[in-house]
Amino acid sequence: MSRDIVLFDMDGTLTEARKPFAPFLSSPLWSLGQIADIGIVTGSDMDYVSEQMSTLIQNHSIRYSLHILPCNGTKWYTPPEFSSHEHSIIHSAEMEREIGKDNYRKLLEILIKLQTEASEFDIPLSGHFISPRGSMINWSPSGRLASDKQRKRFKKFDKDFKFRTQMFSKLRTLFDSNGLQNVTVKLGGDTSFDIYPNGWDKTYALRHFSGRNVWFVGDRAHSPKGNDYEIFQACGPRSFHTTGPEETKEVIEKIEALIRENKNGIS
């Protein structure tokens, strides 16, 4: 019988937003990894995962049972077998091919227009505003290069003026009026939007683990605008919400206990 696999969101779950992996989670994850595989499913691309999760990916024994699932699982890197090996990509989907070249260009033009509008607001501007990731696009009005100070300032502005809520509505209206009903928009982290073909939310990752018990832990699970919502619903009673790495530690211990009970035949 295949081992269970526990999928974790990254930002806000295993790390604070855009911060390195919380080291106090190493021990509980190692213990969980003795009885289950581990997966990281995130809207971020592999470069951010490698940067934030390098402790687990490079230097921890958990790497040999660690699946990495960037861009909502539309990319899948399987665990290495030997210490000299890296994670290997065995699946990758392409957004431009899925929605068509003309629609993809139209989508980018809309984002460029909205970024110009966003720049007129009193928000910090850094750089790297629109990030094509192959299978999805991330749009960050303040820029992915924002410093901690700039991120905090943007978060306060967003909270006070519902900025992203306004932009979310504009995005949806513009997409629908331009024939892009087959594209989904989600809030990505604290400062951005994730945009991808319908059905390419984090439930995409479940396609890779058919027939296995899949558990999920994430922080943006309760609102349909959040990018953990669909997979949280799909995993049902094996889903757990967290408010950050501190609570994730407790959730890991709870999941390990439940898996052990199930293996011992205790209902």
* Same-domain check for residues 88 and 204: yes
**Same domain as 66, residue 133:** no
pLDDT at 172: 95
Q: Hey, what amino acid is at 181? A: Q
How far apart (Å, rounded) are the C-alpha atoms in residues 260 and 160?
Answer: 45
Residues 178 and 207 in one domain: no
Domain membership of residue 127 as a residue range: 95-197
Can you tell me the distance from the alpha carbon of 130 to that of 261, in angstroms, rounded to the nearest whole number?
Answer: 46
Same domain, 34 and 158: no
pLDDT at 267: 43
**Domain end point (choices 171, 197, 223):** 197
Q: What is the pLDDT of residue 141?
A: 96
Q: What H or E segment, with its residue span, contains residue 251?
A: helix 245-263
Q: What is the DSSP letter of 91?
A: E
Report pLDDT for 265: 66
Coil vs helix vs strand at 197: strand
Question: Is 45 annotated in the active site?
Answer: no
Q: What is the pLDDT of residue 196?
A: 97
Beta strands (DSSP E) in 155-213 are: 183-188, 192-197
Task: Give the chain's residues under pLDDT 70.
Answer: 1, 265-267
Q: Are residues 229 and 161 in the same domain?
A: no
Q: What is the pLDDT of residue 1?
A: 63
d(CA 234, CA 7): 12
Which of these three, 160, 181, 197, is where a domain ends? 197
Quote the DSSP letter at residue 112: H
Structural domain tally of the chain? 2
Active-site choice (11, 37, 45, 158): 11
CB 231 within 8 A of CB 202: yes
Considering the domain architecture, whether residues 156 and 243 belong to the same structural domain is answered as no
Q: What is the CATH number of the domain that holds 167?
A: 3.30.1240.20
pTM for this structure? 0.90
Supply angle C-alpha 241, 91, 52, rounded to 5: 50
Does residue 190 carry a catalytic annotation? no
Kindly name the residue from 9, 37, 45, 190 that is annotated as catalytic: 9
